[in-house]
Amino acid sequence: MNDQIPPTLSVALARGMLSRRTLMLGAAGLGVTALAACGSEGRNPSGNGTSATAKAAQDLSDTEKVINWSNWPEYIDVDDATQKRPTLEAFTKQFGIKVNYTEDYNDNDEFYAKVRPLLAAGNDTGRDVWCSTDWMVARLIRQGFVQKLDLANIPNHGNVEDSLKDVEFDPGRVYSLPWQSGFAGISYNPKATGGKKVETMDQLLTDPALKGKVTLLSEMRDSVGLVMLAMGKDITKFTDADFEAAIGEIQKAKEAGQLRGFTGNEYTKPLAAGDIAACVAWTGDVVQLQAENPALAYVLPETGCTLWSDNFVIPAMAKHKKNAEQLINYYYDPAVMAEVVAYVNYIAPVKGAKEKLAKEDPDVAKNPLIFPDEETLSRAHVFRGLTPEEETKYSSMWAELTAG
């Protein structure tokens, strides 16, 4: 990365390190009771499908020019001078549809707990669209809580990146389209490692030179997923035995004193300071850190990395479905998505966004963590959807491992 800080990254640093991933601790802190309440109706062994069709309300889009959109904090372009959101302002100006944009999606399960009672009762949640992470989308589809997209209203859906087009939890992208994506890989501070490269999960878990200065992510799917990949397992098809074996490897590292702990993205400051020598880290965080600390390294292991996405979904009983689909179509315009990515610095899920951004901000467009090449994407894997029983079991095991 260039020593000169690109303008968009300067903006990111100026607004602080709060990111969409800051607040996403995933399933690590979930209780068994809460997961058991997710229900088991209509599932199949892969965790896909549902026996129920999401309930639809009368669509008022033609008479009510409004969309209610819930999203994660700090996850859209903002004009720092006016605090307005340029792409949303442009959407309203172009289509005459007002967007009530609310940053009230702080955690997948916290948000789910708010909307589930309404969805289960067949009531409107007051929202027309929101952005859920892959595994939560799998749950929502399974329970019949999100509606199929009318792709005729989203002609730009064909712009979705090939690697995100046909995912296990939503084959053919019938219910969801990605908003932003990111990798989980390995970051290390060369000053803290004595100049030694750290490029494998085996190094993180066993290298004596790193003892006590390693952190893993509290997001189960990323940390366990990376370990399973390092063990040669396919995280789109793994078994109970595969998961348990990976948990065993992490447990051994913990008992040996190799691990400093498990984190959300509060690893950023200790990593920059050298208190953490190496860790499992998310791309968006490291891109921002490298602007001030260009020596920090980020590696996507040769054995593979995890790829996550937050995805547009339209809930059951949404009153402005067609308007929401028009909004999704708008953000699947490469020029519009490029404007968002220039600000948030995550991976654009839309083909053509890189080319658009290259004209406006070449430094960002050249960053392989924001615009990975095909070889990199070929090593990226999405953690498969879980059945309710698996979700309860695995999350319980992970919570026990990460406690204390």
Domains and CATH numbers, the chain: 7-181+310-371 (3.40.190.10), 183-306+395-399 (3.40.190.10)
* Cβ atoms 217, 264 nearer than 8 A: yes
| pLDDT of 274 | 97
| % of the chain surpassing 70 pLDDT | 87
Q: Is the pLDDT of residue 327 over 70?
A: yes
Alpha-carbon distance of 210 to 203, in angstroms, equals: 8
Computed on alpha carbons and rounded to an integer, the radius of gyration of the chain in Å comes to 21
How far is 65 from 9, CA to CA, in rounded Å?
A: 35
| Side chain identity at residue 110, one-letter code | E
159 CA to centre of own chain: 19
Report the alpha-carbon distance of residue 375 to residue 389 in Å, rounded: 35
What is the structure's pLDDT at 158? 96
DSSP 328-354: HHHHTSHHHHHHHHHHH-SB--BTTHH
> How confident is the model at residue 40, as a pLDDT?
29
**Backbone phi, psi, residue 84, to 5°:** -90, 165
Q: In the beta sheet, which residues pair with residue 381?
A: 306
Q: What pLDDT score was predicted for residue 52?
A: 61
DSSP 4: S
Model pTM score: 0.76
Task: Dump pLDDT digits (tens) for 23-81.
Answer: 443 333 333 222 223 332 332 333 444 446 899 999 999 999 999 999 988 889 999 89
Residue 213, pLDDT > 90, answer yes
How does residue 352 score in pLDDT terms, banded at 50, 70 and 90?
very high
Q: Using the 8-state DSSP alphabet, how is residue 58 labeled?
A: P
Span 112-146, pLDDT tens digits: 999 999 999 999 999 999 999 998 999 999 999 99
Listed in order, strand segments (DSSP E) in 89-218 are: 98-102, 129-133, 177-188, 214-217
Backbone angles phi, psi at 133, to 5 degrees: -75, 155
Burial class (CB in 10 A: 0-12, 13-18, 19+), 376: middle
Q: How many residues does the chain have?
A: 404
